[in-house]
Amino acid sequence: MSKPNRSGAQQSKITAQSQWQSYLSHHKLMAVDSLSRLLSQMGSSLMTWLVLAIALALPMTLYVSLENVKQLSRTWDQTSQMSVYLTTGTSETEAQALTKTIAQWPDVTSSQYISPEQALKEFSATTGLTDVIAGLDANPLPGVISVLPRLGNEDTGALEQLEAKLLEQSSVESVQLDLLWVKRLYQFMDLGQRLVWALAALLGLAVLLIIGNTIRLSIESRKDEIRVVKLVGGTDAFVRRPFLYTGIWFGLGGGLIAWLLLTAGLYWLSGPVERLISLYGSDFVLLGLGAKDSLLLILDGVILGWLGAWLAVSRHLSDIEP
């Protein structure tokens, strides 16, 4: 050997602390760098953001609509009250006793006895047929117990059971319930819920594909850089990092724009909806996006963005070897 007294240059040492700091600062650097790359191509980035926003906003719109219908149906629960018609000749005391018994049932919220006289009075008041009614020899109306069932869940089977139980009582002539209507509403809501999930799954997949494709193009355009980075000892994680941040930024931007679209849309609709509802004398208020839903929407965007980028990167990065 020509230079026996040398043992080669010492590889410089890096402390764990400085490594950790520089790991964090590289994260920061990549986050800023990937965002500025997106902003420098504002036109195409904005297009991508809008497409993502629409894909994210659609299922959320359906979800919010469904939540509103649910809220509306809660105020309509009173319409599922049952009218229990008593046989003619049931005495006032019998009817009162039965009313009390029914009120104590666990699946009943309240029950109220309406005597034939009271019913007739109400009828004449609401219909204005006072003269006709005054001309009647006897009160044709039966006594009625108005029963408000306890609607805990969206199970119509409970209503049917209650109906059967009521019919078993002596002095009950018939039970009337707009069961079919309630049933249909719940079926529709069930359908709507599933539709929201299916749509969310499909559009979530679309978001993944859009971001995956965008990241693939970005990888393609930075091929040389990736090659050099790998050659000077960049780990896969190091190479992946800027692309993952790009995906996160795409997702975050898409989520934010989707949130803006939804909020603006709801605000735009709230006036007409409230006027329409007030015509029906309901105290319904259009539900907006709550803080939880907003956060969920934006977080969904971020997670899908990151995941899409991850898929693209793990698929295409190994193709680029120095």
Partner 1 sequence: MAHVKFDHVSKSYPGGHQALSELSFEVARGELAFLTGHSGAGKSTLLKLIMLMEKATRGQVLVDGVNLSRLAPRQIPFHRRRIGVVFQNHQLLFDRSVFENVALPLRISGYSSRDLERRVRAALDKVGLLSKEKLNPIELSGGEQQRVGIARAVVNKPSLILADEPTGNLDPKLSLEIMRLFEQFNDVGVSVLVATHDVQLISRLKHRVLALGDGRLLGERPSQVETTHV
Q: In this structure, what token pair is assigned to residue 317?
A: 């990065």
With respect to partner 1, which residue has the nearer C-beta, 231 or 269? Answer: 231
Distance CA 225, CA 292 (A): 41
Q: In this structure, what token pair is assigned to residue 242?
A: 């800027």
Q: In this structure, what token pair is assigned to residue 35?
A: 């965002």
Smallest gap, in angstroms, from Cβ of residue 60 to partner 1?
38
With respect to partner 1, which residue has the nearer C-beta, 10 or 170? Answer: 10
With respect to partner 1, which residue has the nearer C-beta, 15 or 104? Answer: 15
With respect to partner 1, which residue has the nearer C-beta, 44 or 282? Answer: 44
- DSSP track, 71-110: HHHHHTGGGG-EEEEEPTT--HHHHHHHHHHHHTSTTEEE
With respect to partner 1, which residue has the nearer C-beta, 10 or 104? Answer: 10
Distance CA 57, CA 65 (A): 12
Q: Up-side HSE of residue 151: CA atoms within 13 Å toward CB?
A: 21
Residues that bind partner 1 (CB under 8 A): 1-4, 6-12, 14, 18-19, 21-23, 25-26, 29, 224-225, 227-236, 238, 321-322
Q: In this structure, what token pair is assigned to residue 101?
A: 């018994």
Smallest gap, in angstroms, from Cβ of residue 25 to partner 1?
7
Smallest gap, in angstroms, from Cβ of residue 311 to partner 1?
20
Q: Is 322 helix (H, G, I), strand (E, B) or coil?
A: coil
With respect to partner 1, which residue has the nearer C-beta, 105 or 238? Answer: 238
- Edge-to-edge strands, sheet with 172-176: 108-114, 144-149, 82-86, 172-176
Q: In this structure, what token pair is assigned to residue 311?
A: 């898929």
Closest CA to 251 of 263, 259, 239, 262: 259
